[in-house]
Structure 1
Amino acid sequence: MTTDIDYAQLVAAIGDAVIVSDTQGAITLWNAAAERMFGFTQAEALGQSLDLIIPERQRQRHWDGYDKTMRTGLTRYGNDVLRVPALHKDGHALSIAFTVALLRKPDGSVDTIVAVVRDETARFAEDRKLRRRLADLEALKANA
């Protein structure tokens, strides 16, 4: 049984941010979850560089990896989750986790990268708080 899927509706309905960018890193798709997560409307994001959401100190590393992926057609982040800092429109820091998918031209070269992004800022803060608490308890135990 074949079901026709409305892919535009699917991407719009997904709770995680879906961000698509071209070979140069210009944003070509920005769903409603990306708007909520990063604060930029679709109109503000489309056509802009991914630098829109990448902290300045992370940009060189990001672009080195991006260019390598475009050149080689390989990424380990199709299966492995990448956790990195990101920026909200208002300037506050986010902790995000994402995977990517590479879309290819008929000749096999990559022409689009799709990122599915989740905001893990609250979870990251809670983990940090728990690690601090554990370190404090271990220090008390060592000093007892």
Structure 2
Amino acid sequence: MRLGRAEIARQLFEGMPDALVVADRAGIIRHWNGGAERIFGFAEDEALGRSLDIITPERLRARHWRGYETTMRTGHTKYGAGDLLAVPALRKDGAQISIQFSIVPLRDAEGALQAIAAIMRDVTEDFEDRKRLRRALREAEG
């Protein structure tokens, strides 16, 4: 039996361990998969219809929204295909985590930017390990 594109897309969206979050032009969450629920702690019904502010640390929100609004207005992002970004994010319980993510601009049939999909992975443990190693290296050198 062959799987069609729609079935492959559905299974990827529902089953991937990474977070897949789609936000519309206004930054409102429109799609939230199980990976997002696992990483951020918000159930799908808690996240859908809410602003990306629920996962963006307050100190970074102004910068985030400037970039987001510029991308939506111009249709271009400074983060090209394959770029992996690393930023702090928030969990539902208020804990700050480190995530790496890439984005996919979603366009309509005429090519106008309508939404942004972000594929995110929690890299908090790796980030903390690198911090400990750098600190140990500084202490050993110093």
C-alpha separation in 2, matches of 1:49 and 1:56: 12
Which is greater in Rg?
A: 1
Note the aligned Cα RMSD (angstroms). Answer: 1.1
The answer to whether structure 1 residue 138 and structure 2 residue 141 are counterparts is yes
Moved segments of 4+, more than 2 Å: none
Question: In structure 1, the residue corresponding to 2:116 is in which secondary structure?
Answer: strand
Please, which runs of 5 or more residues in structure 1 have no aligned partner? 140-144
Q: Which amino acid aligns with 2:90?
A: L
Please, which runs of 5 or more residues in structure 2 have no aligned partner? none
C-alpha separation in 2, matches of 1:89 and 1:134: 34
Question: In structure 1, the residue corresponding to 2:26 is in which secondary structure?
Answer: coil
Question: How far does the alpha carbon of each residue in 1:55-87 deviate from its partner, in whole angstroms, 9 at most, with x for none?
Answer: 000001100110111111112153211111000
Q: Give the alignment of 1:19-30 within 5 angstroms.
A: 19-30=21-32
Q: Give the alignment of 1:11-90 within 5 angstroms.
A: 11-75=13-77, 76-90=79-93
C-alpha separation in 1, matches of 2:59 and 2:113: 26
| Percent identity of paired positions between Structure 1 and Structure 2 | 47
Q: TM-score scaled to structure 2, two decimals?
A: 0.93
C-alpha separation in 2, matches of 1:64 and 1:107: 25
C-alpha separation in 2, matches of 1:50 and 1:77: 21
The answer to whether structure 1 residue 10 and structure 2 residue 12 are counterparts is yes
Question: In structure 2, the residue corresponding to 1:68 is in which secondary structure?
Answer: helix
Q: Give the alignment of 1:98-109 within 5 angstroms.
A: 98-109=101-112
Q: Which amino acid aligns with 2:87?
A: V
Q: 1:124 pairs with 96, 104, 127, which one?
A: 127
Alignment CA distance shift 1:77-1:63 (3 Å): farther
